[in-house]
Chain A
Amino acid sequence: MHSLRARLILAFIIATLMPLGATIWITTSLLERSLGYATTEELDRLSRTLEGTVRQFYQRERDGLKREALDGRVAATSYPVADMNAWPEDVRAFWESGEPERSSLSGPGGDHLDFMRKTNAGVDVYRRDLGAIRMQELSEEFRRTRELVGSLESRDLRRGFTLTLLLLVGVVWLISLAPLLFIAHRVSSPIRQLTAGLTDFAAGEWDRRLEKGGDDEVGRAVDAFNDMAEQLRRSRERLVYLTQMSSWQSLARKTAHELKNSLTPIRLTIEEMLARQPLADRAFMDQAVQIVVSEIETLERRVRAFSEFAREPPANPEVFDLNVLIAERVALLKPAHPETAYSFRLDVRGPRVHAGTDLVKGILTNLLENAAEAAGPGGSVMTISHSQGGQAVVEVHDSGPGLSDEARRTLFEPTITFKKRGMGLGLSIARKNALLLGGDITLVEGVLGGAGFRVALPSAPESAAASV
């Protein structure tokens, strides 16, 4: 009885059984009272009394007729044997019966009494009018009355009515229980689903989402759960990323420090070795020192990149027009990649951003440079801006070859690359800075056939945006 469905069913049973029991009790009480007025016994007694009275009347009339017939006080209708073929059926039956005399009813409904007597010549029939008392109809009435009495006596009407009532009420109750079970299941199902979802989510299934049911409270709870789960998933991802970044920054900081400590004495020693070298071997030494110094400078650039990666830049948030910043960054990029075509699809309302301008500049510069490099000469780069869900969004798309699955998977992880330009830390730094600003960078479907990046930044509040 711990489940919601079981509780709903229990509530229905408790709520319905009491009025049901009261209804049955009242009905059976009324029934018992009404059956108390039944007149079966009176009918039984009356019919038997009537039977005895009518029989006495009949027998008195029969004996009287017989006496009068034998005394010759009543005229007879004679049926001679010679006319036997014309005899009525009852006279013929009497003649064949072997009885010397017989009394029987005749006339419509048996309102006449016949006394038949055999004679030497045939049959004499004496008749008496019973004065409109129809004996056969009385017989039929008595039969029906006795049948009714027998029927009533053979039945326990109280039991019959009570059992019928209980049966019908029970059936109706059970029928009404069926939709309740269905409704209870329907009501409790989303709640059970919600509970299961929360349990799974708590157990670490961050991608667990629920199917939305109706538009009621439960449906809204499911929506809230899904939103909450999505936000938690994103927050968790950001937290994990920032934690990883923190570790990587720490590592970069130490590495940069160690490398820096080693590179400075190496450079000084090499320069000292060159100064002390005799002039005869100077040409070779110059060349060797130039190679070593060049490599040291490369390592120093890398060290500076590591230091930059490890640095926590100040945010200094301010409100600015995103479209203006985009135009400025693209204008700065164009001289470095003059053969690339640049296009824009900017929100004319000019999305206002509340963030550190330098950080946003860094993010956009990194994405635009990557896009221009990926697009190459003759390629194109498109920049899109719009507002969505309280955030200002800028997207950078290129017409380059796009990203492999492996690159998509590890895109934002800091790596060490030996390509001519870049250290492999740009995207990591950009995403870290976006996260620190309260936004994020994500990969989206490229609209120019290549890669597409989406930067979400916090929008400026209405009041702040208006004052700019």
Chain B
Amino acid sequence: MSAAGSRSQNRHWLLPLALVAVATAPLVAQALTIRTVADALHVQARGFSFIEGPVLTRLREGRSVRIDFEMTVLSKPEGPVVKQTMQGFTLSFDLWEERYAVSRIGSPPRSISHLRPRDAETWCLENLTLPVSSLGFSRDTPFWIRLAYHVPDIGPEASEAPGERYTLRGLIDRLSRRREEADLAKSVDAGPFRLP
């Protein structure tokens, strides 16, 4: 047996391990953790990345992207909603410095710039909180969390103005559009959690 063949046989045990690793990767990658700061419940999502795919492409073309987050506390998996909070963010990308900027929509507005992608994602989740007192849970009460985001209008922008909807230009625009996902959404459920 050649040395190459021996190395090949020795590596056979790696294949099942690799398959297990690939299969469990999404679960591990999207694991949620919670923490409380004062009365605020924060969620951390390891591997819950949203600056990727069409969002990243759009940002790298110098365009801003709005992302709406939704954090839902459930009393059971797929169970009734105990509390829900929503928060929108606007992301932009500095083409020359190659850093991200994030603005929190709503009151009070907050913004931050010169962030790396992971830092921008973390900052968004940091600013998505729920008051612990509003949950009415004791420390032993188990609960589940659903974290979701939604990127509206990620598809190609309509070139016609609203008034041009029924004009020749508007008609050509609509009939020439390729089928693409207009919206982008993703969610992850995790639990049970207990208040620390």
The docked-state distance in angstroms from the alpha carbon of A147 to that of B159 is: 10
Query: Of B97, B173, B174, B180, which one neighbours A103 at CB under 8 angstroms?
Result: B97
The docked-state distance in angstroms from the alpha carbon of A93 to that of B99 is: 15
The docked-state distance in angstroms from the alpha carbon of A151 to that of B157 is: 7
Are B61 and A143 neighbours in the complex by a CB distance under 8 Å?
yes
Query: Of B96, B112, B113, B155, which one neighbours A135 at CB under 8 angstroms?
Result: B96
Are A154 and B96 neighbours in the complex by a CB distance under 8 Å?
no
Residues of chain A contacted by B114 (CB below 8 angstroms): 97, 99, 102, 104
Residues of chain A contacted by B173 (CB below 8 angstroms): 155, 160
B178 proximal to A (CB < 8 A): yes
Are A161 and B62 neighbours in the complex by a CB distance under 8 Å?
no
A142 proximal to B (CB < 8 A): yes
For window 233-282 of A, CB contacts with B under 8 Å fall at none
A159 proximal to B (CB < 8 A): yes
For window 127-155 of B, CB contacts with A under 8 Å fall at 155
Are A167 and B63 neighbours in the complex by a CB distance under 8 Å?
no
For window 16-73 of B, CB contacts with A under 8 Å fall at 61-63
Min distance, Cβ A98 to any Cβ of chain B, angstroms: 10
The docked-state distance in angstroms from the alpha carbon of A59 to that of B174 is: 41
Are B156 and A155 neighbours in the complex by a CB distance under 8 Å?
yes
Query: Of A59, A142, A160, A164, which one neighbours B177 at CB under 8 angstroms?
Result: A160
A301 proximal to B (CB < 8 A): no
Min distance, Cβ A17 to any Cβ of chain B, angstroms: 22
Residues of chain B contacted by A150 (CB below 8 angstroms): 61, 156-157
A-B contact count (CB 8 A): 76
Residues of chain B contacted by A93 (CB below 8 angstroms): 113
Contact with B along A149-180 (1 / 0, CB 8 A): 01100111111110110011000000000000
Knowing A150-B61, A151-B159, say if A159 contacts B176 (CB, 8 Å). Answer: yes
Are B176 and A157 neighbours in the complex by a CB distance under 8 Å?
yes
Min distance, Cβ B95 to any Cβ of chain A, angstroms: 5
Are B168 and A55 neighbours in the complex by a CB distance under 8 Å?
no
Number of interface residues of A (CB under 8 A): 34
The docked-state distance in angstroms from the alpha carbon of A59 to that of B99 is: 13
Are B63 and A58 neighbours in the complex by a CB distance under 8 Å?
no
Q: Closest B residue to A90 by CB, please name it.
A: B113
Are A59 and B96 neighbours in the complex by a CB distance under 8 Å?
yes
Query: Of B63, B112, B174, B180, which one neighbours A147 at CB under 8 angstroms?
Result: B63
The docked-state distance in angstroms from the alpha carbon of A99 to that of B97 is: 14
A286 proximal to B (CB < 8 A): no
The docked-state distance in angstroms from the alpha carbon of A58 to that of B32 is: 39
Are B178 and A154 neighbours in the complex by a CB distance under 8 Å?
yes
Residues of chain A contacted by B172 (CB below 8 angstroms): 157, 160-161, 164
Are B175 and A164 neighbours in the complex by a CB distance under 8 Å?
yes
Min distance, Cβ A50 to any Cβ of chain B, angstroms: 11
Are B63 and A163 neighbours in the complex by a CB distance under 8 Å?
no
A54 proximal to B (CB < 8 A): yes
Are B175 and A160 neighbours in the complex by a CB distance under 8 Å?
yes
Are A154 and B61 neighbours in the complex by a CB distance under 8 Å?
no
Are B178 and A155 neighbours in the complex by a CB distance under 8 Å?
yes
Min distance, Cβ B149 to any Cβ of chain A, angstroms: 22
The docked-state distance in angstroms from the alpha carbon of A267 to that of B141 is: 147
Are B95 and A55 neighbours in the complex by a CB distance under 8 Å?
yes
The docked-state distance in angstroms from the alpha carbon of A154 to that of B158 is: 10
The docked-state distance in angstroms from the alpha carbon of A51 to that of B171 is: 33
Are B62 and A139 neighbours in the complex by a CB distance under 8 Å?
yes
Are A143 and B180 neighbours in the complex by a CB distance under 8 Å?
no
Are B171 and A164 neighbours in the complex by a CB distance under 8 Å?
yes
The docked-state distance in angstroms from the alpha carbon of A140 to that of B97 is: 15
For window 130-152 of A, CB contacts with B under 8 Å fall at 135, 139-140, 142-143, 146-147, 150-151
The docked-state distance in angstroms from the alpha carbon of A293 to that of B100 is: 147
Min distance, Cβ A137 to any Cβ of chain B, angstroms: 12
The docked-state distance in angstroms from the alpha carbon of A50 to that of B77 is: 51
The docked-state distance in angstroms from the alpha carbon of A140 to that of B61 is: 10
Are B62 and A146 neighbours in the complex by a CB distance under 8 Å?
yes
Are B168 and A154 neighbours in the complex by a CB distance under 8 Å?
no
The docked-state distance in angstroms from the alpha carbon of A314 to that of B180 is: 104
Q: Closest A residue to B61 by CB, please name it.
A: A146
Residues of chain B contacted by A161 (CB below 8 angstroms): 172, 176
Query: Of B62, B96, B156, B171, which one neighbours A143 at CB under 8 angstroms?
Result: B62
Are A163 and B61 neighbours in the complex by a CB distance under 8 Å?
no
Knowing A93-B113, A146-B61, A164-B168, say if A55 contacts B157 (CB, 8 Å). Answer: no
The docked-state distance in angstroms from the alpha carbon of A229 to that of B112 is: 99
Q: Closest A residue to B169 by CB, please name it.
A: A164
The docked-state distance in angstroms from the alpha carbon of A93 to that of B168 is: 49
Residues of chain A contacted by B159 (CB below 8 angstroms): 151
Min distance, Cβ B127 to any Cβ of chain A, angstroms: 15
Min distance, Cβ A19 to any Cβ of chain B, angstroms: 22
The docked-state distance in angstroms from the alpha carbon of A155 to that of B180 is: 10
Q: Closest B residue to A58 by CB, please name it.
A: B96
Q: Closest B residue to A150 by CB, please name it.
A: B156
Min distance, Cβ B57 to any Cβ of chain A, angstroms: 9
Min distance, Cβ B103 to any Cβ of chain A, angstroms: 12
Are B112 and A142 neighbours in the complex by a CB distance under 8 Å?
no
Query: Of A54, A59, A104, A155, which one neighbours B176 at CB under 8 angstroms?
Result: A155
Q: What would be 7 A-B contacts, judged by CB atoms less than 8 Å apart?
A: A58-B96, A93-B113, A154-B155, A155-B156, A155-B178, A157-B172, A164-B168
Top 3 nearest A-B pairs (CB, nearest first) are A160-B176, A143-B62, A154-B156
B contacts, CB < 8 Å to A: 61-63, 95-98, 112-114, 155-157, 159, 168, 171-178, 180
- Since A147-B61, A151-B156 are in contact, a sample of 12 more A-B pairs with Cβ atoms closer than 8 Å, ordered by chain A residue number, is A93-B113, A142-B62, A143-B61, A143-B62, A151-B159, A154-B155, A157-B176, A160-B175, A161-B176, A164-B171, A164-B175, A168-B168
